[in-house]
Amino acid sequence: MKVVSVVGTRPNFVKEFFIHKELKKRGIKEILVHTGQHYDYEMSKIFFDNLDITKPDYHLSNSSSSGIQQIAHMMEYMEDVLKKEKADCTLVYGDVNSTLAAAVASAKLKIPVAHIEGGIRSINLYNPEEINRRVTDHLSVLIFACTKTDYRNLLEENFPKSRIILSGDIMKDVLLYTVDREKIKVERGKYSIVTIHREENVESRERLTGIISGLIKSKEKVIFPVHPRTRKRLKEFGLIDMILKSSALEITEPQSYLRFVELLAGANKVITDSGGVRREGYILGKPVIVLINITWFPEILKAGWKFVADADTDKIADAINNFEPDKKRPNIFGNGDAYKIIVENLISRFGEKK
């Protein structure tokens, strides 16, 4: 059996780490393709070094371009790779542009697609990730859902049960493994951590200003590893000076996975617009303050661990100072064995022919 795995962005690299290990253990040939969607050292290579993922077999060089140009470029590249490799399936992760490009190319070539992290839905039809996820799910013959809600979303869209597997969240598997292996202390420390990179926040002067103002207004110490896209806009919107003048908000370069997990584990609260970081925060027992009103993982909100501050300056400051969940923290994201369930299903579905 031969699998082509396609990665392109930071969260993909993290998830690939465990799949790679498990495929290797089971003696399955994996061809790794890096679409180059993330290309800065801190956004890409450091993850390969840090997580000990083997060098990609194919690596497309990419640079800053519009999302549509990026997808078109990656799709053409994937056509060549997939025709050459003739794999039994193409494995894609999450909701990024790379995922969509690989899924479309693969389905057009009649190579079955398997989608890790399918079924996440929001009502924001034109959110870039929503588009990628919906299309990818519909092109996939096997969809792995992280949570029961994601699984139900797919059933409600009339996906047959034979195409959906409730695997749990592979991000949880890697997070718990890393905390354990590195003996990272998980505690409510004296600082909070913020990440901001969503297009809706970063491309809007008004929203980004509202968020930065809220972080500063809280007067709590907040560490802010800045995504390159966000850094560009902070400069353009004249917000860097405001940050540098604040003694509370501390900006840093994007962090390696290991360093980021250490920072998360020691944080008091997690403030984010990321779909992944909100899960990681919850799993590590941090109150999560969300900077965008998109209903991914409604279970966290239901459990009382998420506060939606959106880009509202006062709500953000107030939540940093006062938001404290008082309820139990149910297990939402599986048992830390999603990678085994995924590989087992790939083998039973695609491994029989050979």
Distance CA 292, CA 201 (A): 8
Tokens of 114: 């398997």
- Looking at 20, 38, 197, 227, which residue is catalytic? 197
List the one residue out of 6, 279, 313 whose CA is nearest residue 149: 279
Q: Which stretch binds ligand UD1 (CB under 6 A): 9-17, 213-221, 257-265, 296-304?
A: 9-17
> Applying CB under 6 A, which part among 23-31, 33-41, 152-160, 311-319 lies near ligand UD1?
33-41
Residue 316 makes contact with ligand UD1 by CB under 6 A: no
Which 8-state DSSP code applies to residue 309? -
Shortest distance (Å) from residue 233 CB to ligand UD1: 9
Positive/negative CA dihedral, 310, 313, 314, 316: positive
Q: Is 9 in the site for ligand UD1 (CB under 6 A)?
A: yes
Distance CA 237, CA 343 (A): 45
Of 5-13, 133-141, 332-340, 341-349, the segment contacting ligand UD1 by CB under 6 A is 5-13
Q: Which two structure tokens, joined as six digits, stand for 224?
A: 């802010």
CA–CA gap between residue 270 and residue 59 (Å, rounded): 33
Q: Does 128 bind ligand UD1 (CB under 6 A)?
A: yes
Among 189, 228, 298, 304, the residue binding ligand UD1 under the rule CB under 6 A is 228
- If one asks whether residue 40 binds ligand UD1 (CB under 6 A), the answer comes out as yes
Query: Cα–Cα distance between 234 and 224 in angstroms, integer?
Result: 12
Residue 343's φ and ψ, nearest 5 degrees, are: -65, -40
CB of 253 to ligand UD1, least distance (A): 12
Q: At its nearest, how many Å lie between ligand UD1 and the CB of residue 96?
A: 3
Give 150: exposed, middle or buried? Use CB within 10 Å, 0-12, 13-18, 19+.
buried
What are the CB-based long-range contacts (under 8 Å, 24+) for 56-60?
56/7, 56/32, 57/31, 57/32, 57/33, 58/31, 58/32, 58/33, 58/34, 59/33, 59/34, 60/33, 60/34, 60/35, 60/36
- Give me the residues paired with residue 39 across strands: none
Known catalytic membership, residue 197: yes
The answer to whether 272 and 290 have CB atoms below 8 angstroms apart is: yes
For ligand UD1, which residue of 5, 50, 90, 97 counts as binding (CB under 6 A)? 97
Q: For the CA atoms of the chain, what is the radius of gyration?
A: 20
In the set 11, 210, 225, 336, which binds ligand UD1 (CB under 6 A)?
Answer: 11
Q: Is 269 in the site for ligand UD1 (CB under 6 A)?
A: no
**Total residues interacting with ligand UD1, rule: CB under 6 A:** 19
Q: Does 95 bind ligand UD1 (CB under 6 A)?
A: yes
Q: Is 233 in the site for ligand UD1 (CB under 6 A)?
A: no
Closer by beta carbon to ligand UD1, 39 or else 77: 39
Residue from 6, 23, 46, 96 in contact with ligand UD1 (CB under 6 A): 96
Contacting residues for 36 by C-beta, under 8 A, at least 6 apart: 8, 44, 59, 60, 61, 62, 74
Q: Of residues 5, 35, 37, 136, which one binds ligand UD1 by CB under 6 A?
A: 37
Cβ proximity to ligand UD1: between 20 and 197 the closer is: 197
For residues 67 to 86, the per-residue mask of contacts with ligand UD1, x marking binding by CB under 6 A and - elsewhere, is x-------------------
Does the protein bind ligand UD1 through residue 321 (CB under 6 A)?
Answer: no
* Of the residues 6, 43, 89, 113, which one makes contact with ligand UD1 according to CB under 6 A: 43
Q: Where are the beta strands (DSSP E) in the chain?
A: 2-7, 29-34, 58-59, 89-93, 113-118, 140-145, 164-166, 192-195, 222-225, 249-252, 270-272, 288-290, 306-308
Closest distance to ligand UD1 from the beta carbon of 229 (Å): 3
Tell me the catalytic residues.
197
Which residues are near ligand UD1 by CB under 6 A?
9-11, 37-40, 43, 64, 67, 95-97, 128-129, 197, 228-229, 274
